[in-house]
Amino acid sequence: MTVPSPDYRDPRLTEQRNPRTQRIDVASSLEIVDLINGEDATVAPAVHAVRADVARAIDLVVDAFRRGGRLVYVGAGTSGRLGVLDASECPPTFGTPPEMVVGVIAGGYPALVKSSEGAEDDVNAGMEAMDQARVAAHDFVLGIAASGTTPFVRAALSRAQTIGATTGLVSCSDPPQVLRATCDVLVLPKVGPEALTGSTRLKAGTATKLVLNTISTGAMVRLGRAYGNLMVDLKAVSDKLRDRGERIVMECCGVDRGAARAAIAAADGSVKLAIVMVRKGTGRAEAERALAAAGGFVRRAVGDPPPVA
* Annotated catalytic residue within 31, 117, 120, 246: 120
Give yes or no: 89 in active site.
yes
| Contact status, residue 232 vs residue 299, Cβ threshold 8 Å | no
Phi/psi of residue 193, nearest 5 degrees: -60, 145
Asked whether 306 and 296 are in contact (CB, 8 A), the reply is no
Which of the following is catalytic: 89, 128, 251, 288? 89
Helix (H/G/I), strand (E/B), else coil: 132: helix
120 labelled catalytic: yes
Cα–Cα distance measured from residue 31 to residue 44, given in angstroms and rounded to the nearest whole number: 22
Collapsed DSSP state (helix, strand, coil) of residue 65: helix
Whole-angstrom Cα distance, residue 187 to residue 49? 10
- Cross-strand bridge partners of residue 144: 75, 170
Q: Are the C-beta atoms of 179 and 186 separated by less than 8 Å?
A: yes
Helix (H, G, I), strand (E, B) or coil at 177: helix
Return the H-helix or E-strand segment holding 167. strand 166-170
Is residue 287 a contact partner of residue 249, using CB atoms and an 8 Å limit? no
Q: How far out from the chain centre does Cα 149 lie? A: 20
Residues marked active site are found at 89, 120
